[in-house]
Structure 1
Amino acid sequence: MKKIFISSVLAIVLLCTSCEKQKSYSIESTINDKLHQFIWNGLNVYYLWQKEVPDLADDKFVNSEDLHFYFRGYSSPEAVFESLLNKPTDRFSWIVEDYIALENSFQGINVSNGMEFGLVQYKNGSNNVYGYVRYVIPNSDAATKAVSRGMLFNNINGSQLTIDNYQALLFSDTSNYIVGFADYNDGNPVSNTTSVSLSKIEIQENPIAITKVFTEGTKKIGYLLYNQFARNYDGQLNAAFANLKSENITELIIDLRYNGGGSVRTATYLGGMITGQFTGQLYSQEVWNDKIRNAFSANSFINNFTDEISNTDVNGTVILKENLNSLGLDRVYFIATYSTASASELVINSLSSYIDVKVVGKTTRGKQVGSITLYDSDNLQRTGNNLNPNHRYAMQPLVFEISNKDNKNYPNGIVPGITLPGVELGEDYNNLGVLGERSDPLLDRTLVYITTGAKSSNNESKTFDFNEIFNSKLATPAKDNMFMDLKK
């Protein structure tokens, strides 16, 4: 790889300007000017659609002063960033004010009261919104106050949730609010007398939420509820597979219904844990912009099945190295919903090129693109020289598209029973059951599918297509991101 690539390109962009342009500004650069320059530099070098954005053209600006003057017409760094995105194609790039919070979020550390929920529009078509509790993080404030999966709420601090106010009521900087619970009422919930005051603090969620084995006749079926591809939990994920392997399971269910993604490397490890017989073969392949592709060898853009975990810190020091606990399966079942995105979709898609993959649930998000974290330093890395001490902004722009070995991905989502074999069935917000138990309709349906092969049931008269508009994970700094290390 060409390690001098980033600094060389930045020098060319900022110093080798068009000889035909002559502009001169006598302005003193501000903190925001430097921040705007960082945004432009990073996107000019790495952004997947750099060529499609006129303001990111290499010859757009004569010099730094020209750039500073141009972006002074924007109200904020966020506005500058948004102006440089390839809309509407780009649905997922974002910028954050605090890269510490972003880095923590990649590790499952967020400011939260522990109540993880989805938000759904009322069935009657009004602007009213209600929340359903998906699960509660152990040892959180919500856990201590008996909040549990399946509870519904429709008001915060006494105000009815609506499409227009849910962001302000649920996701403001306020650390406390009172949740007013409700009864289902055929999808148009009505308030009941139950309420609870919840407080947000910084907590860490273990994404390996449930691991267990079901014995159904002669079949031993492993089950894993996995909620984030967090690299700092790779060792624990591997240990969970060691337990499944010791149980001699013959079938496996990976529940990704609430997993919005995370590390591409961890997604590759998970593929190897499920299989193990394809080590060294192509797992996934990436397409970056022309600048990056021209600067690196073709091997830089492929991810192969591996038989070991080898993780390093930002300084290159090995922090985890161990063999994968692989199951050698030739079939796997996934539970998925619209909240299943990016790295989750990558695992489903990549494995479908090699083994029998079946999906139970609803259409996934359709996020086949990924990002890297860019910092305001000389080489756009956290450890780069002259990391700007005046702010903590970082960018998470889309920089690559990823596909399986057959060059397939699904920007419109993976549809159970259509894109891949499986069963289409949504969650019933009036009957969510208990995660990891047969009372959970999606898990129960998957177990029936495994044991009987049946794709339909007399009990499935509807698939619950209510309009879910948001969920609590999307409000975290990591959101539904699929990311990898910056190429250097």
Structure 2
Amino acid sequence: MKNAILSKLVVLLTLVSIFGCKKDLDDITPPPRPGGDRTIDQEVLDSVYSKYKYSSYWESSIPVANPISSLTDKYTDADDLLGYLMGLTPKKNDYKYHPTYNGPLDRFSWIEDLGADSKASAMADLADGYGLYMAFDGNRGDSLFVYFVEGGSPGAAVGIKRGDKVLEMQGDKKMVYSNKTKVDEYIEGNTLSIKTENAQHVQKTYNLNYTSYDIQPFQLGKVFTENGKKAGYIGLSSFEELKSGVSDSKMKKGIDSTFAVFANQNVTKLIVDLRYNGGGYVSSAIHLLNKIINSSGNGKVMFKYDLNKNLKKERDQGETEFADEIFVKDNGNLEIQQVVFLVSDYTASASEIVISALKPYMDVKLVGYDASTYGKPVGFYREDILGKVGLWAASFKIINAANYTDYWDGIPADYPNVFDNFYKQFGDPSEDMTRKALNILIGPGSKASSRTATVRSSVNRTTRELNKIPRRNMIKD
């Protein structure tokens, strides 16, 4: 997970011990405090301001504080200071798909606690907890169901599946929305006793320990064949590292082996399931893009980076970190012509790069559980501050080859509000979102699987989430 920028920059959301600082900001180094040196806590705040002012995509919106302490001494908490700085960035007033948001464009930057007791869930490639994400379903008596189990998690290790009904937690059988407060406490506890029932009505009880685990985002790769026509399918819940030590990661192996099968079977139509993919490493998104792209895009611009004046100056002086990304076709004779992405409001950051980058070169359609993706065209690298905190300032914006950018409101779905049928597994041809994609690419299949996908009401949602999948962001490495 060591970034290309690691010698000069340090990168994003990942293991604390692996990161360093970006660079010395000699031009805005905090001055000594009159009458004595700054305390460590004051120096942290000074550096949060200095580094945000230097690196933020909206640098021009942040006024010069002279001396810096005239601003930072108003705050005792780094999060509060950063919140103030983010509040100075421009606002967008015409959100169509996220109309309840009316704040500054920078709602993405954050402070990471680098203390020994900090939560691993703030880091890429690593999560903490049970890896179980659940929702109350009003259509089924307000019962609690598992809609996603993260690969590599304790929940996945014992065999809990998407679609399992939760009957009990900690001996409590009241698994309904009115008891949400207690259920929240159960899934945050150090241990969890959970009883589930699967689609075959088999009941099991599991005893789990709350722990940190390596995320395994590769869900499934397969080829559908219906009426003599083929469509490939690949599902990824995030973009984690391409390497695990000196070896390829399980995610990379899954991607590579899947596309080898696609090439062997001459697949020309593809479903990419990113409905729960909140992003991750830019390099991993690029790897997937080079597997998908056909000859029409080979050697052409994949996407460009838009930067503030400071980072532009570095690039003009020869820094290659933010040079344009170019497609390098890496799929043999495979020539995919059509791609359907399965998306939701969880689809963000690096996963939106993949969608945007392919649009100028291929027939791309989006089947959405929501009306659009999340909307995060900006990315990050991490600045370590005195070993205390890491600053993740939104520092660069993505622009595709057709100059498509500023999708703050998300990338609109061509087919919105299609039901995410979490009673069925990923890659099931009868699952609603997958079925819709297959109908688009190859038409209705067999009689058993050719039903019309359910279009849910965007207003009367019958499911209410218990806990949300963390977004992985857009990590420059």
- Asked if Structure 1 and Structure 2 have the same fold, meaning a TM-score greater than 0.5 normalized by the shorter chain, the answer is yes
Kindly state the Cα deviation for residue 112 of structure 1 after the two structures are TM-superposed.
2.6
Cα distance change, pair 38–239 in 1 and its aligned pair in 2 (3 A): farther
Percent identity over paired residues: 22
Match of 2:291 in 1: 273
Cα distance change, pair 138–335 in 1 and its aligned pair in 2 (3 A): closer
Residue 451 (str. 1) matches residue 466 (str. 2): no
1:250-305, CA deviations, whole angstroms, 9 ceiling, x for partnerless residues? 31111111100112222222222111422321111222212222332297645333
Distance (whole Å) between structure 2 residues aligned to residue 9 and residue 462 of structure 1: 52
Structure possessing the higher relative contact order (Cα contacts under 8 Å, 6 or more residues apart): 2
Match of 1:311 in 2: none
Cα distance change, pair 293–360 in 1 and its aligned pair in 2 (3 A): same
Aligned residue for 2:375, secondary structure, equals: coil
The structure 1 residue matched to 2:418, chosen from 417, 425, 429, is: 425
The structure 1 residue matched to 2:376, chosen from 351, 367, 373, is: 367
Contact 1:257 1:340 (C-alpha < 8 Å) held by counterparts: yes
1:61-81, CA deviations, whole angstroms, 9 ceiling, x for partnerless residues? 226xx35xx434424222222
Residue 204 (str. 1) matches residue 204 (str. 2): no
Residue 228 (str. 1) matches residue 238 (str. 2): yes
Cα distance change, pair 132–61 in 1 and its aligned pair in 2 (3 A): farther
Kindly state the Cα deviation for residue 200 of structure 1 after the two structures are TM-superposed.
1.7
The structure 1 residue matched to 2:53, chosen from 44, 51, 54, is: 44
Distance (whole Å) between structure 1 residues aligned to residue 137 and residue 47 of structure 2: 39
Distance (whole Å) between structure 2 residues aligned to residue 42 and residue 346 of structure 1: 26
Distance (whole Å) between structure 2 residues aligned to residue 43 and residue 75 of structure 1: 17
Matched positions, count: 419
Q: Report 1:396-435 matches (<5 A).
A: 396-409=392-405, 410-417=407-414, 422=415, 424-428=417-421, 432-435=423-426
Aligned residue for 2:25, secondary structure, equals: helix
More moved, 292-301 vs 41-50: 292-301
Cα distance change, pair 353–37 in 1 and its aligned pair in 2 (3 A): same
Contact 1:114 1:140 (C-alpha < 8 Å) held by counterparts: yes
Distance (whole Å) between structure 1 residues aligned to residue 37 and residue 182 of structure 2: 41
TM-score (norm 1): 0.73
Contact 1:241 1:326 (C-alpha < 8 Å) held by counterparts: no
Kindly state the Cα deviation for residue 182 of structure 1 after the two structures are TM-superposed.
10
Question: What amino acid does structure 1 have at the position aligned with 2:324?
Answer: N
Residue 438 (str. 1) matches residue 429 (str. 2): yes
Match of 2:246 in 1: none
Question: What amino acid does structure 2 have at the position aligned with 1:269?
Answer: H
The structure 2 residue matched to 1:329, chosen from 309, 321, 336, is: 336
Distance (whole Å) between structure 1 residues aligned to residue 231 and residue 167 of structure 2: 37
Aligned residue for 1:231, secondary structure, equals: coil
Question: What amino acid does structure 2 have at the position aligned with 1:12?
Answer: D
Contact 1:210 1:223 (C-alpha < 8 Å) held by counterparts: yes
TM-score (norm 2): 0.74
Aligned residue for 1:249, secondary structure, equals: coil
Distance (whole Å) between structure 1 residues aligned to residue 321 and residue 154 of structure 2: 44
1:196-250, CA deviations, whole angstroms, 9 ceiling, x for partnerless residues? 5532222223212211111122322111011111133464223332232223223
Q: Cα RMSD over matched residues?
A: 4.0
Residue 31 (str. 1) matches residue 40 (str. 2): yes
Match of 1:305 in 2: 326
Distance (whole Å) between structure 2 residues aligned to residue 200 and residue 249 of structure 1: 41
Distance (whole Å) between structure 2 residues aligned to residue 166 and residue 325 of structure 1: 53
Distance (whole Å) between structure 2 residues aligned to residue 120 and residue 325 of structure 1: 45
Aligned residue for 1:84, secondary structure, equals: helix
Kindly state the Cα deviation for residue 457 of structure 1 after the two structures are TM-superposed.
6.4
Cα distance change, pair 43–212 in 1 and its aligned pair in 2 (3 A): same
Residue 97 (str. 1) matches residue 117 (str. 2): no
Residue 289 (str. 1) matches residue 289 (str. 2): no
Q: Report 1:55-74 matches (<5 A).
A: 57-58=63-64, 60-62=65-67, 66=69, 70-74=71-75
Cα distance change, pair 11–407 in 1 and its aligned pair in 2 (3 A): same
Q: Name stretches of at least 5 consecutive residues in structure 1 with no aligned partner.
A: 18-22, 124-128, 184-192, 309-322, 377-387
Kindly state the Cα deviation for residue 351 of structure 1 after the two structures are TM-superposed.
0.5
Distance (whole Å) between structure 2 residues aligned to residue 260 and residue 45 of structure 1: 26
Distance (whole Å) between structure 1 residues aligned to residue 451 and residue 228 of structure 2: 22
Question: What amino acid does structure 1 have at the position aligned with 2:239?
Answer: F
Match of 1:10 in 2: 25
Contact 1:113 1:198 (C-alpha < 8 Å) held by counterparts: yes
Question: What amino acid does structure 2 have at the position aligned with 1:434?
Answer: Q
Aligned residue for 2:267, secondary structure, equals: coil
Match of 2:84 in 1: 83
Kindly state the Cα deviation for residue 108 of structure 1 after the two structures are TM-superposed.
2.5
